[in-house]
A and B are shown apart, each in its own frame.
Chain A
Amino acid sequence: MVTGGVDIGASATKAALLNGKGALLGSAVLRSGVDFAASANKALQAALGEAELTAGEVGPIFACGYGRGNAAFAAATRTEIACHAAGAYHYFPRALTVVDIGGQDNKIIKVAAGGARTSFKMNRKCAAGTGAFLEEMALRLDLPLESLNDLAAGATEEASLGAYCTVFTATEVLAKIRAGVAVAALVKGLFRSVVKRVLEMDTLEGTVVMTGGVVAHNPHLAVMLAQEAGREVKLPPRPQLTGAIGAALLARRSLEQDAA
């Protein structure tokens, strides 16, 4: 049976429909906006359209993310922590550390070889190192968000940025611009800052998998995390959909448990 997941995040709403074997049949990514319920509905409709399915042909749908309580069609809710773990484990079934960089928060989730979560950490109440940090900096640098990855990847130099706070970093960036530092070097410095914030949160064990929208659009972050941590970093095929896919997998698991 097809099951579904919606991940209603602070920035984007994602939907995924999976068949009984865990293959992705349809998906969607939209901006969450201010009406989480409407965004969830729209994302589900778009995923149904892509999968060429009607709502009646889909079994349970689970919701996760900040707006998880707003999806009226959801059979149950799970936290995005459970869903990112399940989604990452689906693609890499072994002991994992999942690094999810979200729009407004970061998570590090440890998963045992058998798939059970053993611990997790969320960033403190501060947006340093999250997608919001990069968005804010892109704005300050007057750069389109989608240009950041290529700039960082192509940079031959890197500006060193020391501040933790987003606002102080912006001040540092302005000072460097005045000093004539190249924009690409600044962007690479900003990426380094994100990587450092992540590595401060927890230790890394097992296979490291990065998930979330920020790495989906900025895969160079995975390259830099791998360099900084000195270990390989994997990405699932659709990093931004990991939570929604995990929710759909947990919906399937609940069906199987009910059947058993």
Chain B
Amino acid sequence: MSDAPPPIAATKLMKKLMAEHFLGLDRAAREGSPKVAWCTSVGPAELLHALGFLVYYPENHGALLGATRMASETIPVANAAGYSPDICSYLTADVGAFLKGVTPLTKAYGIKGVPRPDVLVFNTNQCRDVQDWFQWYGRHFGAPVIGVRTQRGVGPVLDSMVADVSRQIQYLVPALEQISGNKFDIDRLRETVGLSKQCTVMWRRVLEYGAKHPAQLSFFDHTIHMAPAVVLRGLPEAVTYYDTLLAELVERDKEGLAAVPGERFRLYWDGMPVWGRLRMLGDLMASLHTAIVASTYCNSWIFDAFDPADPFISMARAYLDLFIVRDEAFKERYILDHVALYGCHGVVFHDAKTCPNNSNNRYAMPQRLQDLHGVPTLVINGDLNDLRCFSDEQARTNLEAFVEQIEELAA
């Protein structure tokens, strides 16, 4: 087997930016200034930044708990406190960690705990769990929990929906002004929306390196390099990072570096990552000379609609356009388009036990892709964070057998 490609040098910059992000939040929470807002992954981060908040994303913390496998120790604590093992394991891992008094931020950055929120701002466009999750902390810290309730299962994104979500975002302004102590300035919002737009354009270009033959980056690389798009969206740091990364990718492309040396097959991944098993799955796919070149999950931080000229409306449209908000027909078309665009031989659906919202196999989509469109599909059972729901051996056999099947069909 040929050697793995050299590591990506830009990762160093990412580590530095992430450290600054978390240390800044920790300092702000301890000093009481600037104010700290907790935000869901597709909450109105642009507005929060425009009002001078530092923004903390509990879902990112949930993923860190998963990736460090601390989640296995913390989920049961939340289960015992009444949060079912069947609900979001970001929520249970995170609340359990808080109850247990642990965080991966301690080992990574020497930080004792997550930053105390001054306000928690959700958007239910992805699921209801985020609201329940934030309410737990709201009760604990006595902090206000406010947010946006977005339509789900959306077909065409109608102007009426956009107007509704846009109005809901605007209604947050007075409360956020009061908590932050800062006056809302539309020009400042235009700036943060503009930065989010730049970030999103650049993140899309990074992902498109997966479309090269052989793919230059795989899903497993994407899950690492997406961090700035997730937690620094709306800030100049994210743009700086993707500038640096893209410059490096141009050079790597000239050298013809492949994410999976000897790439033979290409797959699309739908559903959440299995955070605690990324290494195992990455190594397995590499041994099968198969690259996972694109994913619904990593594409979820592409927000094409952002437009600084019309910040509220474009934020609303960007949040509504997302895959997770849409109906089954949209999702099916979306996956088919990406399978074609990225030249995939098949689709792996991860059925995450605790996240129905990101498990798109549950309404017979794999069967439709296979029977109506001739796209081979595989469903693997697992979870984003709860490794009690994941079997290495089952996943290995399933993925190996799927690649064998693709190979047989190709022959």
Contact = CB atoms under 8 A, between A and B. Distances in A.
Contact of A79 (B389, B404, B409): B404
Interface string B394-411: 100110110011001100
A78 B381 contact: no
B172 to A, nearest CB: 41
Interface stretch (A24-32, A117-125, A188-196, A216-224): A117-125
B185 interface: no
A164 interface: no
Contacts of A81: 397, 401, 404-405
B244 interface: no
A69 to B, nearest CB: 10
B391 interface: yes
B3 interface: no
Interface in B287-301: none
B401 A125 contact: no
Nearest to B402: A120
B347 to A, nearest CB: 12
A125 B405 contact: no
Given A81-B401, A117-B405, A125-B394, 4 more contacts: A66-B393, A79-B397, A81-B404, A119-B377
Interface string A121-134: 11011000000000
B370 interface: yes
A122 B397 contact: yes
A130 to B, nearest CB: 12
B269 interface: no
Interface in A70-109: 78-82, 105
B404 A119 contact: no
Interface of A: 66, 78-82, 105, 116-122, 124-125
Interface of B: 370, 376-377, 379, 381, 389-391, 393-394, 397-398, 400-401, 404-405, 408-409
Contacts of A66: 393, 397
Given A105-B394, A116-B408, A119-B370, A79 B376 contact: no
Among B370, B376, B377, B405, the most chain A Cβ lie within 10 Å of the Cβ of B405
Given A79-B400, A105-B394, A125-B389, A120 B405 contact: yes
Nearest to A121: B379
A20 B377 CA distance: 34
Contacts of B397: 66, 79-81, 122
A124 B401 contact: no
Contacts of B409: 116-118
A122 B394 contact: yes
Nearest to B406: A117
Contact of B404 (A82, A105, A118): A82
A60 B10 CA distance: 47
Contacts of B389: 125
A34 to B, nearest CB: 15
A118 B391 CA distance: 24
A80 B394 CA distance: 12
